[in-house]
Amino acid sequence: MMKVGNFYSQIMQKIKLKITALSPLAIAARKPGSVSEAQDHIPGSVIRGAIASQILQLAQQQTSDIFSENPTPDDGDFAELFLSDSSAIFQNAYPAVAKISTQDEDIDIYRVVDDGTQIMVLPATALSSKEKAGFKPKGSGVFDTLIDRFLSNVYDFPYDPSDPKTFTRVEPFNSFYSKAGKDKYYSHSNNTRFLTRVGINRQRSTSEDDILYSIAVLNESFPDKSSKNSPNWQDFVYHSIILVANPELANNLVGFIHRNPRLFRLGSATSRGLGKVEITASIESTAQEVDQKILEFNQKIHERWETWSIFGKPNEDLLKKRTYFTLDLQSDAILTENWLRTTVISEKMLCDFVGLAEIDNSLKLELAYSSYDYRSGWNSAWGLMKDVELVTKRGGVYLFSISNENQENQDLWIDKLTDLELKGVGDRTAEGFGQIQICNEFHHVLREEVK
């Protein structure tokens, strides 16, 4: 049969961005009824707006092709990149600074992970000790509960996990993370500070009375404490991805970024010296291994089923003739069903997302773990606030199953899910919303295997 999903995956070009902060970044998380706070990442919409803005500005000044040495307006390229139905997907940029420490060290060491390691979001089902949260060796460890929660429902047996060593209370552990080697996990984060500013009277060029304000910003550097004598300060780095369908356009965009690495400004207050960054870009393979991830996830469920069998025999063998997979939100998602906002991806929604003409009756939503939040922002092109959106928070987990009696149907789903992992789910995916992973590998980390 024709591999539809593989075809889409092969034509997509993945542009990996390395964003180095050269000044504080004022990237606010605007929510209704609250003070603006600095976000813990760089949204894809901010990157998208910054690149589009610079292309248009240079295009108005020069007289040749938009991505040449002297760019000018070219409605075809610009429209294909930002306005068409197949416009580029600008994914969120997550912090590439990992917390690396050992048991016998008194201080935590932070280091930029810059070897192609993927930075991911822990699923909402990940837990850690309330008293000593975090990955080993400094923390008590982190483990996932999705498979055990599913099997506890199957066996109709209560499941209340605790810390595997101290048997104390555990709580959800939300973090960016990366995996090094087979068993090493590192948490990723950034830090913020407030910059206090005074308003200026434009007529007298002096400070204005009663105008004093603070801006929450992401720090532009962090202390490298690998040297115990005196820490060196390193620039903070973020990693992001742009997906472009047109290979020629992808190469042109990479060339444009290479020629103008320090041209872009991210966030607000750029006229006051904030938001200065250096961006480098490179094209990488978009090869996906969705089929292998689904296979390994199902093997883990079957192994765990044997462990749970000590509680007796369930009323129904749910593993028989069923294949399971998860959708793990790697960014906030804007989900709509029947014109209403929702935080759950239903069977019908998933069929719509993957482009099936008819609903697969064998598809079943087994479990859903999600929560909501609100997001807004500023549209620089229009000079207006964006609409306040109800979003499903990143880390959400949806466990689905399909019948595996029909091999052709199973192959079709693997192809469709391969596409979906690239395109994302919900609305405004071109701005970084709705990024997903199929069968996040952290679901394999069970309570006895805490990391």
Query: What is the reported pLDDT for 102?
Result: 61
| Residue 307 host element (H or E) | helix 290-308
Euclidean distance between CA atoms 178 and 129, whole angstroms: 20
With a cut of 70, say whether residue 345 has pLDDT above it: yes
Question: Is the CB of residue 97 less than 8 Å from the CB of residue 111?
Answer: yes
The three-state secondary structure class of 349 is helix
Task: Determine the structural domain holding residue 331 and report its residue range.
Answer: 290-449
| CB atoms inside a 10 Å sphere around CB 451 | 18
- Domain end (from 232, 251, 284): 284
Which of 268, 355, 210, 233 has its CA nearest to residue 50? 268
Q: Tell whether 146 is covered by a domain.
A: no
Residues 307 and 445 in one domain: yes
Average pLDDT over residues 325-336: 94
- 12-16, 86-90, 143-147, 312-316: range with lowest mean pLDDT: 312-316
Residues 241 and 353 in one domain: no
- 190-194, 197-201, 318-322, 362-366: range with lowest mean pLDDT: 197-201
Residues 414-432 pLDDT 10s: 999 999 999 999 999 999 9
Q: What is this structure's pTM? A: 0.88
CATH of the domain at 229: 3.30.70.1890
Residues 189-206 pLDDT 10s: 888 888 877 777 777 777
- 90-104, 181-195, 197-211, 365-379: range with lowest mean pLDDT: 197-211
Taking phi first (over 0 means left), then psi (-120 to 50 degrees means alpha), and beta for anything else, what does residue 125 get?
alpha
Average pLDDT over residues 225-246: 81
- Domain end (from 284, 315, 342): 284
CATH of the domain at 370: 2.60.40.4350
- Domain end (from 258, 284, 310): 284
Residue type, 148: D
Euclidean distance between CA atoms 277 and 312, whole angstroms: 59
Residues 435 and 306 in one domain: yes
Residues 49-71 pLDDT 10s: 899 888 888 777 664 455 555 44
Question: Is the CB of residue 242 less than 8 Å from the CB of residue 429?
Answer: no
Residues 319 and 431 in one domain: yes
Please report, in angstroms and rounded to a whole number, the separation of the first and last CA atoms in the chain: 41
Question: Is the CB of residue 67 less than 8 Å from the CB of residue 244?
Answer: no
Highest mean pLDDT: which of 11-15, 248-252, 306-310?
A: 248-252
Euclidean distance between CA atoms 317 and 300, whole angstroms: 16
